[in-house]
Amino acid sequence: MATASPVGSFPSPYEVETPPGCEGWEEMYPYYALFDEERREADEQRFWFWNSMHFPLPMPAFDAICIDTAYQALGSWQNRVFAVPPAMGIDYRCINGYIYISGNPVTDPAKIAERAEHFQKRAGHYFANWDELYAAWRTKMEALIEELDQLEVPRLHEYEPEDVAFGDQETSYCAVLDAYRRVLRLADLMWQNHFEFLLLGYGAYVTFAELCKANLPDMPDQHIAQMVAGLDVLLFRPDAELRRLARLAIETGVDPAFVEGRSPGEIDAELGESDAGRAWLAELEEVKHPWFHMATGDGLYHYYGSWLDDPTIPYASLIGHIGALRAGEDIERPAEHIATERERLANEYGALLDDETRKAFDELLALARTVFPYVEEHKFFCDYWFLTSWWNKIRGFGDLLAAHGFLEDREDVFQLSRLEVHAALDELLLTWATGGKPRGPTYWPPIVTRRKDLLERLAEWTPPPAVGAVPEAVLDPALIMLWGVTTERVHAWAREAEGGPTLSGTPASPGLVEGVARVVKTAREIGDVREGEILVCSITSPAWAPIFSKIQAAVTDIGGVMSHAAIVCREYALPAVVGTGRATSQIRTGQRIRVDGSAGTVTMLE
């Protein structure tokens, strides 16, 4: 990206100080993830922004696999397969445990033209055969999830079974190492699948948006997004099932069990005392597969878990839905209203175009609507269903290491990098095989303890939204559509470094409301959200959709018009401002704020 413009400034990444007591945090991450002196001249002249959408908290050492493999896959598809003309892949660096990213642009016109030929041929094949290819993709992902489910983490016994001596069964040390390699390979394959269609989904939308802007320059980005809203997306099915269960609870008279503040365990205990309650719980069990494979966050941290691991979000939603039904309110997602508005905008804007342009407008709009569901649905299969199951599979290796004293608890496995886990397994298997005394039981626990303390301390630090040079222009379509990192937004971040009562962001969903803020920094705090509050967070996830019946607006630190927060808010007809850069650090829970989702502003009223 091009360097500085006179609109403001960001700190140099080399001048960001380490919080007191956090010295040595660098050991948790690979050498290439750090800002080092060898790359200083180049890295200081680049624009790096905090990817709080995907990594809002400092990364545990093992979880960093979701950075490396994700950006390997993204870069492969964007740069090496589809050859997106203006952009290659994404570089990342780590500052105090937080992840900053920067796009690699293509600036040579001849190279852009060369890449365009590849892109048109390859992307055109996908667009022309989208339904067939997407159906094959879903089959492939379901098979990958099944393979993961079938993978077992072997145990180590005093003696090998007789099948090793008298049959063809492999020895345990081979089986354990093979299982670990396989589980890592499955993650690589998942990330490969994750990005196969995603960039094309954004690309179709960007192409449609560019046509709109070229011919109707006064059209707001929000209206462009609304023209592809209200479609049938799989990710809204879990919330639909919860609404059905809420109605069933009232119909069968078990709704008194659902009281604000009660834990899922307390609710289940009361339901288990009656025939009607047990019948309701049986219906809930039918819903759980696959719909409770929703993650409590984006799935990229080991501790998020799914609704199966932590049912706080669905139970908070059930309580909210039941309360709304008792009050005579409509709990259904306003799909009909959204669809009507979608068609109204498309017809009115289309009528302003000449016949030839109207034809292109209709064709590109139809393509955007065709590919849009994948933009959200891939998350259910990849980030939610696969990853939450995958983290639990890694816990199996934590169990193995803990059983032999290398770790104190299975969860400690996530404080080691994936290469360190391999090293620990190597030593465990070596000393198990030889009968020797391992060093691991005294070597790894102090490292784990220190890293846990580092992560706690680093979580109290507030990262700057960006570091490095202020770019003259942001051209990468992925940065623009997903993260909302536009040229205007970055310049606004630079100007707003001093703070103030008003935050500006991307107007993601129309409407104007005033209310009390609820700042949510972790998925565990979702259960604290109360009726009528305004959600303020780094980014929302589609997995949070069930709480959208409670809130009256949403504000995020990061995100564009096609971010998950923007999409979900439009589907629930809630005002939203995304990409403010610093809402979670400037706004406090209980503070009254005004959200103007049409203008893209958030005003702190007290």
Of residues 200 and 110, the one with the higher pLDDT is: 110
What Rg value do the Cα atoms of the chain yield, rounded? 25
> Is the pLDDT at 203 greater than 90, yes or no?
no
Contact 245, 283 (CB under 8 A): yes
Q: What is the pLDDT of residues 537-566, one digit of tens each?
A: 877 776 677 777 788 999 988 777 777 777
Q: What percent of the chain has pLDDT over 70?
A: 95
In this prediction, residue 109 carries a pLDDT of 95
d(CA 169, CA 280): 46
Pick from 368-382, 432-446, 464-478 the range whose average pLDDT is largest.
432-446
Distances (CA, A) of 540 to 47, 142, 164, 168: 24, 26, 51, 51
Q: Which two tokens stand for residue 310?
A: 């932590």
> Inter-axis angle of helices 172-196 and 418-434, to 10 degrees?
160
Residue 97 has pLDDT above 80, yes or no: yes
Q: Which among 480, 417, 463 is positioned nearest to 444, based on CA atoms?
A: 417
* Distance of alpha carbon 438 from alpha carbon 443, whole angstroms: 9
pTM listed for this prediction: 0.87
> What confidence tens digit (pLDDT) does each residue in 32-64 have?
999 999 999 999 999 998 888 888 889 999 999
Secondary structure (3-state) at 501: coil
370-411: pLDDT as tens digits: 887 777 788 899 999 999 999 999 999 999 999 999 999 999
Rounded CA-CA distance 409/423 in Å is 18
Check if the beta carbon of residue 595 is closer than 8 Å to that of residue 575.
Answer: yes
491, 496, 497, 501 alpha-carbon torsion, rounded to 10°: -160
pLDDT of residue 481: 67
Q: What mean pLDDT is predicted for residues 142-153? A: 97
**Percent of all residues in the chain with a pLDDT value above 90, rounded to a whole number:** 61
Strand 601-604's sheet: what is its strand order? Answer: 502-504, 601-604, 592-596, 512-520, 534-537, 553-556, 576-578, 506-509
pLDDT in tens, 275-300: 999 999 999 999 999 999 988 877 89
What is the average pLDDT across 119-131?
Answer: 92
Q: What is the mean pLDDT of residues 571-579?
A: 86
Torsion of CA 517, 518, 521, 527, to 10 degrees: -160
For 514, the enclosing helix (H) or strand (E) is strand 512-520
> Which region among 300-309, 473-482, 517-526 has the lowest average model confidence (pLDDT)?
473-482
Confidence band for 3, pLDDT divided at 50, 70 and 90: very low
Q: Does residue 333 register a pLDDT over 90? A: no
Q: Write the single-letter amino acid at 265.
A: G
pLDDT at 103: 87
